[in-house]
A and B are shown apart, each in its own frame.
Chain A
Amino acid sequence: MSSLDFSPRAYVESTIIMTTVRVVSPFVFTFGLFVMFHGAESAGGGFQGGAIVASSIIMLAFAFGIEPTREWLDDDFVRVVIGGGASTFALIGLGALAFGGPFLNYSAYGISHGVKYGIELVELGIGAIVAGVIVSLFMNLAAGFSDEETEGDEA
Protein backbone atom coordinates (compact mmCIF):
# COMPACT_ATOMS: atom_id res chain seq x y z
CA MET A 1 0.00 0.00 0.00
CA SER A 2 3.05 2.24 -0.11
CA SER A 3 2.01 3.50 -3.55
CA LEU A 4 -0.67 5.58 -1.81
CA ASP A 5 2.10 7.79 -0.45
CA PHE A 6 2.66 9.72 -3.67
CA SER A 7 -0.60 11.66 -3.33
CA PRO A 8 -0.42 14.83 -1.23
CA ARG A 9 -3.56 13.90 0.68
CA ALA A 10 -4.70 10.37 1.46
CA TYR A 11 -7.95 9.30 -0.14
CA VAL A 12 -11.07 9.93 1.97
CA GLU A 13 -14.23 8.13 0.97
CA SER A 14 -17.41 10.09 0.35
CA THR A 15 -20.67 8.56 1.59
CA ILE A 16 -22.66 10.14 -1.24
CA ILE A 17 -20.44 8.75 -3.98
CA MET A 18 -20.14 5.32 -2.33
CA THR A 19 -23.90 4.94 -1.89
CA THR A 20 -24.68 6.04 -5.44
CA VAL A 21 -22.05 3.77 -6.95
CA ARG A 22 -23.27 0.85 -4.84
CA VAL A 23 -26.79 1.36 -6.21
CA VAL A 24 -25.91 2.19 -9.81
CA SER A 25 -22.93 -0.02 -10.73
CA PRO A 26 -24.83 -3.35 -11.00
CA PHE A 27 -27.28 -1.67 -13.38
CA VAL A 28 -24.43 -0.21 -15.41
CA PHE A 29 -22.76 -3.62 -15.65
CA THR A 30 -26.02 -5.27 -16.73
CA PHE A 31 -26.67 -2.51 -19.25
CA GLY A 32 -23.19 -3.07 -20.70
CA LEU A 33 -23.95 -6.77 -21.21
CA PHE A 34 -27.34 -5.82 -22.69
CA VAL A 35 -25.64 -3.54 -25.23
CA MET A 36 -23.13 -6.29 -26.08
CA PHE A 37 -25.83 -8.90 -26.71
CA HIS A 38 -27.82 -6.46 -28.82
CA GLY A 39 -24.99 -6.13 -31.31
CA ALA A 40 -26.36 -8.99 -33.41
CA GLU A 41 -29.61 -7.44 -34.55
CA SER A 42 -29.93 -3.82 -33.40
CA ALA A 43 -27.92 -0.86 -32.15
CA GLY A 44 -25.12 -1.89 -29.83
CA GLY A 45 -22.07 -4.07 -29.98
CA GLY A 46 -18.96 -5.26 -28.26
CA PHE A 47 -17.08 -1.98 -28.33
CA GLN A 48 -19.82 0.14 -26.75
CA GLY A 49 -20.83 -2.60 -24.30
CA GLY A 50 -17.23 -3.17 -23.28
CA ALA A 51 -16.75 0.54 -22.63
CA ILE A 52 -19.89 0.59 -20.44
CA VAL A 53 -18.76 -2.48 -18.46
CA ALA A 54 -15.32 -0.90 -17.99
CA SER A 55 -16.96 2.32 -16.79
CA SER A 56 -18.76 0.39 -14.03
CA ILE A 57 -15.37 -0.88 -12.80
CA ILE A 58 -13.85 2.62 -13.03
CA MET A 59 -16.82 3.96 -11.05
CA LEU A 60 -16.03 1.44 -8.29
CA ALA A 61 -12.44 2.65 -8.31
CA PHE A 62 -13.56 6.28 -7.97
CA ALA A 63 -15.87 5.48 -5.06
CA PHE A 64 -13.85 2.99 -3.02
CA GLY A 65 -10.33 4.11 -3.86
CA ILE A 66 -8.04 2.90 -6.61
CA GLU A 67 -5.71 0.75 -4.53
CA PRO A 68 -8.49 -1.36 -2.92
CA THR A 69 -9.98 -1.88 -6.40
CA ARG A 70 -6.60 -2.91 -7.75
CA GLU A 71 -6.31 -5.47 -4.95
CA TRP A 72 -9.82 -6.76 -5.58
CA LEU A 73 -9.37 -7.01 -9.36
CA ASP A 74 -5.78 -8.09 -9.78
CA ASP A 75 -3.85 -7.55 -12.99
CA ASP A 76 -3.66 -11.25 -13.80
CA PHE A 77 -7.46 -11.51 -13.86
CA VAL A 78 -7.69 -8.56 -16.27
CA ARG A 79 -5.03 -10.17 -18.47
CA VAL A 80 -7.01 -13.42 -18.50
CA VAL A 81 -10.16 -11.50 -19.50
CA ILE A 82 -8.35 -9.78 -22.39
CA GLY A 83 -6.73 -13.01 -23.56
CA GLY A 84 -9.99 -14.93 -23.18
CA GLY A 85 -11.81 -12.36 -25.30
CA ALA A 86 -9.19 -12.50 -28.02
CA SER A 87 -9.14 -16.29 -28.08
CA THR A 88 -12.96 -16.46 -28.16
CA PHE A 89 -12.89 -14.27 -31.26
CA ALA A 90 -10.14 -16.35 -32.86
CA LEU A 91 -11.74 -19.70 -31.99
CA ILE A 92 -15.15 -18.70 -33.40
CA GLY A 93 -13.50 -17.34 -36.53
CA LEU A 94 -11.17 -20.27 -37.09
CA GLY A 95 -13.87 -22.77 -36.12
CA ALA A 96 -15.76 -21.73 -39.24
CA LEU A 97 -12.65 -22.61 -41.27
CA ALA A 98 -12.62 -26.04 -39.62
CA PHE A 99 -16.22 -26.61 -40.72
CA GLY A 100 -15.29 -25.79 -44.30
CA GLY A 101 -16.44 -22.16 -44.59
CA PRO A 102 -14.51 -18.87 -44.86
CA PHE A 103 -13.15 -17.10 -41.74
CA LEU A 104 -15.98 -15.82 -39.46
CA ASN A 105 -18.67 -17.38 -41.68
CA TYR A 106 -21.04 -18.49 -38.93
CA SER A 107 -23.47 -20.30 -41.23
CA ALA A 108 -20.76 -22.92 -41.82
CA TYR A 109 -21.47 -24.30 -38.31
CA GLY A 110 -24.78 -25.64 -39.53
CA ILE A 111 -26.76 -25.06 -36.30
CA SER A 112 -30.05 -23.17 -36.29
CA HIS A 113 -29.61 -19.41 -35.70
CA GLY A 114 -25.88 -20.09 -36.01
CA VAL A 115 -25.22 -16.62 -37.41
CA LYS A 116 -26.90 -14.95 -34.43
CA TYR A 117 -25.07 -17.03 -31.80
CA GLY A 118 -21.80 -16.59 -33.67
CA ILE A 119 -22.11 -12.80 -33.80
CA GLU A 120 -23.11 -12.67 -30.14
CA LEU A 121 -20.15 -14.78 -29.01
CA VAL A 122 -17.79 -12.63 -31.08
CA GLU A 123 -19.34 -9.45 -29.64
CA LEU A 124 -18.87 -10.88 -26.14
CA GLY A 125 -15.22 -11.54 -26.97
CA ILE A 126 -14.75 -8.01 -28.28
CA GLY A 127 -16.51 -6.64 -25.18
CA ALA A 128 -14.16 -8.58 -22.89
CA ILE A 129 -11.13 -7.22 -24.77
CA VAL A 130 -12.38 -3.62 -24.71
CA ALA A 131 -13.43 -3.73 -21.04
CA GLY A 132 -10.16 -5.34 -19.97
CA VAL A 133 -7.98 -2.93 -21.94
CA ILE A 134 -9.85 0.16 -20.68
CA VAL A 135 -9.66 -1.02 -17.06
CA SER A 136 -5.94 -1.81 -17.31
CA LEU A 137 -5.22 1.52 -19.05
CA PHE A 138 -7.07 3.32 -16.24
CA MET A 139 -5.22 1.37 -13.56
CA ASN A 140 -1.86 2.08 -15.21
CA LEU A 141 -2.61 5.80 -15.51
CA ALA A 142 -3.88 5.93 -11.91
CA ALA A 143 -0.69 4.30 -10.65
CA GLY A 144 1.20 7.42 -11.76
CA PHE A 145 4.96 7.64 -12.16
CA SER A 146 7.42 7.51 -9.31
CA ASP A 147 10.27 10.01 -9.30
CA GLU A 148 12.93 7.39 -10.08
CA GLU A 149 11.14 6.37 -13.24
CA THR A 150 10.60 9.86 -14.63
CA GLU A 151 14.08 11.17 -13.86
CA GLY A 152 16.26 11.25 -16.96
CA ASP A 153 13.31 9.86 -18.88
CA GLU A 154 12.40 13.17 -20.47
CA ALA A 155 12.29 12.58 -24.20
Chain B
Amino acid sequence: MDKTIIELKDVWKIYQMGQVEVPALRGVDLKISKGEFVAIVGPSGSGKSTMMNLVGCLDLPTKGGIYLDGHNIANLDESKLAQIRGQKIGFVFQQFNLIPNLTALENVMLPLAFQGIDDTVAEAKAMKLLDIVGLGDRVRHLPTQLSGGQMQRVSIARALANDPEVILADEPTGNLDSTTGRFIMNFLGKIHKGDSKTIIMVTHDLNLSKAAEKVVHIKDGKVEKIETIRKRGRE
Protein backbone atom coordinates (compact mmCIF):
# COMPACT_ATOMS: atom_id res chain seq x y z
CA MET B 1 0.00 0.00 0.00
CA ASP B 2 2.84 2.36 0.76
CA LYS B 3 3.78 2.80 -2.85
CA THR B 4 5.33 6.14 -3.68
CA ILE B 5 3.44 7.96 -6.40
CA ILE B 6 5.21 11.31 -6.33
CA GLU B 7 8.74 11.94 -5.22
CA LEU B 8 10.62 15.23 -5.25
CA LYS B 9 14.38 14.87 -5.04
CA ASP B 10 16.40 17.98 -4.24
CA VAL B 11 14.09 20.19 -6.29
CA TRP B 12 15.15 23.74 -6.94
CA LYS B 13 13.13 26.39 -8.68
CA ILE B 14 14.86 29.67 -9.34
CA TYR B 15 13.08 32.58 -11.01
CA GLN B 16 15.04 35.14 -12.91
CA MET B 17 13.75 38.60 -12.00
CA GLY B 18 15.74 40.87 -14.23
CA GLN B 19 19.31 40.65 -12.92
CA VAL B 20 18.34 38.98 -9.66
CA GLU B 21 17.84 35.28 -9.15
CA VAL B 22 14.99 34.55 -6.79
CA PRO B 23 14.93 31.00 -5.48
CA ALA B 24 11.39 29.85 -4.77
CA LEU B 25 12.32 26.32 -3.83
CA ARG B 26 15.69 25.41 -2.40
CA GLY B 27 16.24 21.72 -2.44
CA VAL B 28 12.90 20.18 -1.55
CA ASP B 29 12.69 16.47 -0.85
CA LEU B 30 9.26 14.93 -0.49
CA LYS B 31 7.59 11.58 -0.91
CA ILE B 32 3.87 11.15 -1.37
CA SER B 33 2.42 7.68 -1.28
CA LYS B 34 -0.44 6.38 -3.29
CA GLY B 35 -3.79 7.05 -1.63
CA GLU B 36 -2.48 9.64 0.79
CA PHE B 37 -4.24 12.90 1.63
CA VAL B 38 -1.47 15.44 1.93
CA ALA B 39 -1.81 19.08 2.79
CA ILE B 40 0.95 21.45 1.83
CA VAL B 41 0.82 24.41 4.15
CA GLY B 42 2.78 27.56 4.32
CA PRO B 43 2.48 31.34 4.34
CA SER B 44 2.30 33.19 1.06
CA GLY B 45 5.67 33.42 -0.60
CA SER B 46 6.80 30.21 1.00
CA GLY B 47 6.99 28.43 -2.34
CA LYS B 48 3.94 26.22 -1.95
CA SER B 49 2.35 27.39 -5.20
CA THR B 50 5.59 26.75 -7.02
CA MET B 51 5.65 23.29 -5.54
CA MET B 52 2.10 22.67 -6.57
CA ASN B 53 2.89 23.71 -10.16
CA LEU B 54 5.85 21.36 -10.23
CA VAL B 55 3.94 18.44 -8.77
CA GLY B 56 1.12 19.15 -11.23
CA CYS B 57 3.54 19.06 -14.17
CA LEU B 58 2.58 22.62 -15.01
CA ASP B 59 6.16 23.74 -14.66
CA LEU B 60 9.60 22.19 -14.65
CA PRO B 61 12.20 22.49 -11.91
CA THR B 62 15.42 24.41 -12.41
CA LYS B 63 17.28 21.55 -10.81
CA GLY B 64 16.41 18.22 -9.29
CA GLY B 65 14.05 15.40 -10.18
CA ILE B 66 10.34 14.93 -9.97
CA TYR B 67 9.27 11.33 -10.15
CA LEU B 68 5.73 10.48 -11.00
CA ASP B 69 5.10 6.75 -10.77
CA GLY B 70 8.84 6.31 -10.85
CA HIS B 71 9.38 8.31 -14.05
CA ASN B 72 11.32 11.53 -13.97
CA ILE B 73 9.20 14.22 -15.57
CA ALA B 74 11.82 16.94 -15.27
CA ASN B 75 13.11 16.25 -18.75
CA LEU B 76 9.85 15.78 -20.61
CA ASP B 77 8.59 18.10 -23.32
CA GLU B 78 5.37 20.07 -23.07
CA SER B 79 3.26 17.58 -25.07
CA LYS B 80 4.32 14.67 -22.88
CA LEU B 81 3.64 16.74 -19.78
CA ALA B 82 0.20 17.63 -21.12
CA GLN B 83 -0.51 13.97 -21.62
CA ILE B 84 0.56 13.14 -18.07
CA ARG B 85 -1.49 15.99 -16.67
CA GLY B 86 -4.50 14.89 -18.61
CA GLN B 87 -4.30 11.26 -17.57
CA LYS B 88 -2.85 11.23 -14.08
CA ILE B 89 -3.67 14.54 -12.46
CA GLY B 90 -6.94 16.30 -11.78
CA PHE B 91 -6.83 19.97 -10.86
CA VAL B 92 -9.15 21.81 -8.53
CA PHE B 93 -8.38 25.51 -8.49
CA GLN B 94 -9.21 28.26 -6.04
CA GLN B 95 -10.86 30.24 -8.83
CA PHE B 96 -12.62 27.16 -10.23
CA ASN B 97 -11.18 27.93 -13.67
CA LEU B 98 -14.10 26.69 -15.67
CA ILE B 99 -14.33 27.72 -19.33
CA PRO B 100 -17.01 30.41 -19.23
CA ASN B 101 -18.50 29.72 -22.66
CA LEU B 102 -19.01 26.02 -22.04
CA THR B 103 -21.82 24.45 -20.04
CA ALA B 104 -21.12 22.45 -16.89
CA LEU B 105 -21.41 19.28 -18.93
CA GLU B 106 -19.07 20.52 -21.67
CA ASN B 107 -16.56 21.63 -19.07
CA VAL B 108 -16.48 18.15 -17.55
CA MET B 109 -16.26 16.57 -21.00
CA LEU B 110 -13.28 18.70 -22.00
CA PRO B 111 -10.48 16.65 -20.34
CA LEU B 112 -11.97 13.55 -21.96
CA ALA B 113 -11.98 15.26 -25.35
CA PHE B 114 -8.29 16.07 -24.97
CA GLN B 115 -7.71 12.35 -24.49
CA GLY B 116 -9.48 11.68 -27.77
CA ILE B 117 -12.50 10.02 -26.21
CA ASP B 118 -15.71 9.91 -28.23
CA ASP B 119 -18.30 12.54 -27.41
CA THR B 120 -21.02 10.02 -26.60
CA VAL B 121 -18.78 8.12 -24.18
CA ALA B 122 -17.49 11.35 -22.69
CA GLU B 123 -20.98 12.72 -22.24
CA ALA B 124 -22.18 9.63 -20.41
CA LYS B 125 -19.19 9.78 -18.09
CA ALA B 126 -19.52 13.51 -17.47
CA MET B 127 -23.22 13.10 -16.69
CA LYS B 128 -22.39 10.44 -14.16
CA LEU B 129 -19.75 12.59 -12.50
CA LEU B 130 -22.02 15.62 -12.33
CA ASP B 131 -24.64 13.40 -10.78
CA ILE B 132 -22.14 12.29 -8.15
CA VAL B 133 -21.29 15.87 -7.23
CA GLY B 134 -25.01 16.59 -6.99
CA LEU B 135 -25.39 18.71 -10.10
CA GLY B 136 -27.34 16.27 -12.26
CA ASP B 137 -29.99 18.95 -12.79
CA ARG B 138 -27.56 21.73 -13.71
CA VAL B 139 -25.64 20.13 -16.58
CA ARG B 140 -26.76 22.63 -19.23
CA HIS B 141 -25.96 25.66 -17.10
CA LEU B 142 -23.10 27.96 -17.92
CA PRO B 143 -20.62 28.69 -15.10
CA THR B 144 -22.07 32.18 -14.68
CA GLN B 145 -25.43 30.62 -13.87
CA LEU B 146 -23.96 28.59 -11.02
CA SER B 147 -23.03 29.51 -7.46
CA GLY B 148 -19.45 29.32 -6.23
CA GLY B 149 -19.98 25.99 -4.53
CA GLN B 150 -21.64 24.59 -7.61
CA MET B 151 -18.79 25.81 -9.80
CA GLN B 152 -16.29 24.15 -7.50
CA ARG B 153 -18.27 20.93 -7.68
CA VAL B 154 -18.21 21.13 -11.47
CA SER B 155 -14.47 21.58 -11.32
CA ILE B 156 -14.16 18.55 -9.02
CA ALA B 157 -16.19 16.55 -11.52
CA ARG B 158 -13.87 17.80 -14.23
CA ALA B 159 -10.83 16.82 -12.17
CA LEU B 160 -12.23 13.30 -11.86
CA ALA B 161 -13.13 12.95 -15.53
CA ASN B 162 -10.05 11.04 -16.62
CA ASP B 163 -9.98 8.97 -13.47
CA PRO B 164 -6.62 10.41 -12.36
CA GLU B 165 -4.48 8.96 -9.61
CA VAL B 166 -3.82 12.34 -8.05
CA ILE B 167 -6.14 15.23 -7.30
CA LEU B 168 -4.31 18.51 -6.89
CA ALA B 169 -6.37 21.07 -5.05
CA ASP B 170 -5.05 24.62 -4.81
CA GLU B 171 -6.87 26.46 -2.02
CA PRO B 172 -10.08 24.69 -3.02
CA THR B 173 -12.21 26.60 -0.51
CA GLY B 174 -10.41 29.93 -0.83
CA ASN B 175 -13.25 31.56 -2.73
CA LEU B 176 -16.11 29.96 -0.85
CA ASP B 177 -18.01 30.75 2.33
CA SER B 178 -17.33 28.46 5.27
CA THR B 179 -20.42 26.29 4.89
CA THR B 180 -19.78 25.65 1.23
CA GLY B 181 -16.11 25.25 2.00
CA ARG B 182 -16.88 22.53 4.50
CA PHE B 183 -19.08 20.81 1.99
CA ILE B 184 -16.27 20.81 -0.58
CA MET B 185 -13.78 19.55 1.98
CA ASN B 186 -16.12 16.73 2.92
CA PHE B 187 -16.41 15.94 -0.70
CA LEU B 188 -12.67 15.75 -1.17
CA GLY B 189 -12.52 13.52 1.86
CA LYS B 190 -15.14 11.26 0.32
CA ILE B 191 -13.17 10.98 -2.88
CA HIS B 192 -10.09 10.19 -0.88
CA LYS B 193 -11.69 7.43 1.13
CA GLY B 194 -14.21 6.13 -1.35
CA ASP B 195 -12.07 6.08 -4.49
CA SER B 196 -8.75 5.97 -2.63
CA LYS B 197 -7.38 8.82 -4.68
CA THR B 198 -4.21 10.57 -3.73
CA ILE B 199 -5.11 14.10 -2.76
CA ILE B 200 -2.62 16.91 -2.51
CA MET B 201 -4.09 20.11 -1.20
CA VAL B 202 -2.27 23.41 -1.04
CA THR B 203 -3.54 25.85 1.55
CA HIS B 204 -2.50 28.52 3.96
CA ASP B 205 -5.34 27.57 6.31
CA LEU B 206 -4.11 25.34 9.11
CA ASN B 207 -7.68 24.41 10.02
CA LEU B 208 -8.27 22.95 6.58
CA SER B 209 -5.08 20.99 6.74
CA LYS B 210 -6.56 18.99 9.61
CA ALA B 211 -8.61 17.07 7.08
CA ALA B 212 -5.37 15.62 5.71
CA GLU B 213 -3.38 12.65 6.95
CA LYS B 214 -0.09 14.34 6.45
CA VAL B 215 0.73 18.01 6.61
CA VAL B 216 3.84 19.32 4.91
CA HIS B 217 4.93 22.70 6.21
CA ILE B 218 6.82 24.81 3.72
CA LYS B 219 8.82 27.86 4.65
CA ASP B 220 11.28 29.87 2.59
CA GLY B 221 11.35 27.31 -0.14
CA LYS B 222 12.15 24.41 2.10
CA VAL B 223 10.23 21.69 3.87
CA GLU B 224 10.14 22.84 7.45
CA LYS B 225 8.45 19.83 8.97
CA ILE B 226 6.11 17.02 8.09
CA GLU B 227 3.47 16.03 10.60
CA THR B 228 1.33 12.97 10.41
CA ILE B 229 -2.16 13.32 11.76
CA ARG B 230 -3.70 10.27 13.33
CA LYS B 231 -7.35 10.16 12.67
CA ARG B 232 -9.87 8.63 14.95
CA GLY B 233 -11.79 7.05 12.12
CA ARG B 234 -8.73 5.44 10.68
CA GLU B 235 -7.49 3.61 13.73
Asked if A and B bind, the verdict is no
Which of B's residues lie within 8 Å of A, judged by CB?
Answer: none
